[in-house]
Structure 1
Amino acid sequence: MSRIKSYLLGFIILCTTITTFGQQDAKPIECTTLPPGHTPNADFSINPQTGCLTADNRAAGALVLINEVRDPSGTLITTLPGSSVKFNFNYRDVDGPITFPANASTPTNRYKGPGKYWIVMNGVVGTTSYLTCKSVEIIDTQPLNFKYDFCSPQDVTVLIEDTPTNRAQPKILIEWGDGNTQTIRITTFPHTITHHFDNVPTVKPKIQGLYERGGIDACTSDARNLDVANTDPPKIVALEGLAGGTQQKITIRGGTADVDFNIEMKPKGGSWSATGKTIKLPTTANATATETITVPNAGTEYCFRLQKNGICSSSIVSDPLCTILPTHQVLSSTDVKIDWQSESFTSITRYQVSHRDSPSNLNPNSYDVPVSANPTFTFDQMDCSTKYEFWIVGSWFSGGTKIEIKSAPFIVEPLKGGNIPFANLAIVSLGDNLVKINTLYPFPEITIYRAEGNSTNFQKAATIQNTTLWEDKNVEINQQQYCYKLEYKDACDNTSEQSTPVCTVFLTSAQPNTLNWTPFSVSDPTGMLQNVGATEYYVQVIDELGVLQNVAITTNTEAEVRAAIDQYLQDPLFNGKVTFRILARQDAELMWGTVLTPFPFSSYSNTYTFITPAILYVPTAFTPNDDTVNDVFKANGKFISEFNMVIYNRWGAPIFETRDIELGWNGTEAGAPAPQGNYSYKIFGTDYAGQEFKKVGSVLLLK
């Protein structure tokens, strides 16, 4: 081990260096026919198999390390007693007999010139001298010859030229700087490579060539970097809708100045086409330029971009900027729901809805709205006497880099005396022998219609004013389901459409040990809720004290409860009956003003009770002989509410009667022991469900 350590030390502090003078390709003669006194078939490893000269090591030379010097049996020579190892790192026929320099035991060497070098190893173990020759090739790598151009801010084209340097490197390694790496084998020159940057490169892209030997990657040439700065055409930094959306004002800034760019346009889902207009940035610092484009259809989304034919195979284009196209729906005298879209939403970080009175331009106000593919905003403060002008702005970045899209303004007027959509939420839940109908908003007048069971015949049930709650007490909640529809009148005398039905969760059992219930629903015909989750149903057990316990959670409308019934029947608090109830829960979110707010719903069903009939056990004989064993005839049972037992003698006359199941007949008649024989009995009563039970039989009295 000490000799191995000395080799490692030699690797760290001492290397032989061979410059580029005199190499040979053919194996030296003395390596083919060993000189007398030497034994063949020893071996050693060269690391690396091919040395590479690059900018980093060209001055010092490519480092080659010898390790694992072994005798013909495979044993490391350096581990054998009395062993020594020497190396000649550049032996040629012209050198004559093989000799070893003074530092021949050093297992490392640096080569400063390209070519093929023959390494001779002489290992001595005792009186045996091993001689082995191997070659190493040193490649003087050269950077690739290529040209490149950014044909768009996110697309680059690289041309690998047809040169001897490039032909010596059949593979290309490209690190694009955006997390993507490519290795490309090139068989024809020149060769074109294109790349699209999904992300802005975090480091400069670099391109290297790969030299191969024996089909294996041998050396990598020095990298050349791509400059990703100042490659953009001017940016469209503002897009403003004018004249009811029939025109779009474009503002550009940054990028190449004093160059004409064509303005192109495409409708949503369509193709790019020329508008016939060009735009050019002045050469002054921080300059902008504007142009107004008339669009074919004010009700269509459009995207705009700048285009120029460059040296690329395709034209150079700017990032597109797309219009904001709003639509609105007047829901009531106070509410208007505004929806919009823009194909630029993936870049937008802020949406703002603004309004002011029209035509006075008084009372301006703005609201931030969360960014999404289909944003929505409900303004609920309109006045019947006022018209409103709304517009929407989407933007990202800030300061000198800010990009902004502004919709064309549009007028909203509150509806008066008309018909409007049902813009409210309604749910029902069961209380104590009543149904609770809740709405989100109060209105001057809400009319409630009711249908019973599976009927679709909704009849007027009530009219409420300026409240969000009505309790329907004219119901039998354990007998059937109830469904409701609502309509309302607002402050401007508009009448809403009827809501979609909203129904109680009706719990019953279609088969033994199974619960079935109708689904929970929320009446939301105008889609006010967002991110609505699946309804979860909590199967609950209620004991005699009113304590609730959850026994299952499911998204189905059926549950098998045999295990729960068996479990709770063992609990004396349940007295032979198990009562269930369903709690329905649904998560959703509601745009409350400008904030998307969690808005969960819950609703209770009626109760349903599984009742176990009375269980009675009656012996067939007893022996009243005062031996304390089976001296009394008595019944045993469970789930019994009322109990009666009568004993008759052989002539049918009653001789014993009790209402307490814990009391039994001691075998006497009129105070004296009754004679041995059969005596008839009658046992009757009721269970916890109020159902009557009766048992008639006879018992044998034995002496």
Structure 2
Amino acid sequence: MNFRQLIAFVLGLFLASSYQVSGQSFCGNTGGFSITPSQGCAPLTVTLKNLVPKAESVTYAYNFDRSQTTAPNPPLATPDSTFTYNLPGTYTILQYGSANGTGFSQCADVIVKETRAPNAELIRCTDGKVRLTLISDSISNAYDAIIVDWGDGSAQSWSPKSSSLYLDHSYASNASRPISLKGSYRNADCQQKMGVRTLTGTTPQSLARIEIKSVEMLESGEARVLYEGVEGVVTEVLIDNGNGQFTPTGKVGQGGGTQLATIAGLDPTKLYRFKLSSKNICDELVDSPTVSSISIREASLSLDEIISLSWQNLPNTGDITMYQLKRDGAIIFSSATELSYSDTDVICGNSYKYEIVAIIGNDIRSYSAPIVLEPQTSIPAMINRASVTVQDNSTITTQVTLAGEGLTSSYDLIVERAPRGSSNFKKISATDNQSLQFVDTNVDPSTESYCYRFQYENACNQKSPDFSSPVCSILLSSKAPEIVWNADSPFTEPVSSYDLHQLDNQGNIEVVISKELGTAHVLDLAKQSSYSYRVEAKSADGSMTSYSNLLRFRSDPIVLVPDAFTPNGDTHNERFEVKGYFISEFEMSIFNRWGEVVFHTSDLSGSWDGKVNSKEAAGGYYIYQINATDSSGQKIARKGSFLLIR
């Protein structure tokens, strides 16, 4: 950058800052210059003359954007006052500089007219006929008219704004003649600079660009054929109804660009082939590549909440590069070879619209008519695999295994409960319960057994025919010296065996006692200390396990005293016998109603036969007094009455 350019750049920065503050265009009205000439024909050379007195660092930009609020970049600014425009257009010239210590700027426009020759295509036929097709672009649209010299002494003026972009001409003989064309303005401007294009043409006319772009089948039975036409070329849509023979559809056009033909009265589930038949200016018929329609249908493999689809098409001239399956307008599957798909991402009760698109060769597309489908489902089977188990003294869990048809991604597993022995089942699960494991905390499994039953309702509101067979929790209880449990199965199938677990104070299993199908166990209380017991049940196939509540035993002394006995010789309840457990010392006295001792023993196994001095004692109430010591040395005293019945 020389010194003068540097001054101009700095001045530009100064001016730019002031214009940026105001937000206005950098084009001001404080400068002044003349343009010679201010309009003309390309190429146009203009000369500028500064009109600002005592101007310094005068700089010009010959193609400035009037909306710009900053000075032009230095490479686009010059002190030169002469410039040549080679292309047509309206250009803004910016002048800026300083005078008397103040910056100035000014803008003015230059109009440069088009002089280049128009673009066109020429087709010749062997019989002397030619067709000239004008290329509609910025060059041809700049002129008021196009002058065509056919080369045989005749000429023609042609408006580029007309609806037809082609001209036909016939020669007396088929001799080849050059054809020239140039632009023209109404006021005869630029005649000396006007460019001329000379064409010789090709033989015959090529119709390769006339081709089908897409075929779309509609539910209404219409086929929409979108194709690319050539201006002035008669093109007809042909159809093959499946017999291999193409017949006219009556859809004829001769427009250029994208054309649409709609063929009615078709079956959207059937397949058709389409092609174009075009006649060039030489009366030669040319067929386009063939494009097949495509159809989609529900396949026979659809299962619960699975929609299976398949599609097919007839042969095309081009190869299919991709199939795209759409659901509700979005692509869910693509393949170059597969002709089927199973959609598992569907929910029963909803409707889905499917379409298949075939992409052929150079982005030609065939669209199927859409189909609307709903997922199908079967009636769910009864639940035949379930179990219950006691988790702790306030919790029972149930577990269900689902199998068979009618299962859907969302469902309601209905859980009902009733006390064992009752038929009054009540629903305890929440609506739309979708957990196969249910946790029931509104129970007391240490004092009562509960039975559960289950029913499945799928997303299509179809329920299994009935509830499952009831399954019941195992209640382990004490009937000293026995512990017993109920025989109701905790499974939807029979119990194969019970195991009794003896656990220590820390909950570790010390002994496992196999009870097979028994439901009771006799404890040796004289040898027992502090233990807990739990029953484990296994299903017939061994796949399910259930646990009872935990029953705790401690080595606390137990004294069981009968409230009556009948020494009448019937061998039943003949002796007054006290049973004691966890007792180390024992002493018992029996008194009649006058306070006399009628029986005394220090043996825990001792019992009174109802006789006093070998004679039968009178019936009535008697008093007992027991004094004992447990295994820890603690004293125990019991006193009460019992009835001797004669």
TM score, norm. by length of structure 2: 0.34
Larger-gyration structure (1/2): 2
TM score, norm. by length of structure 1: 0.32
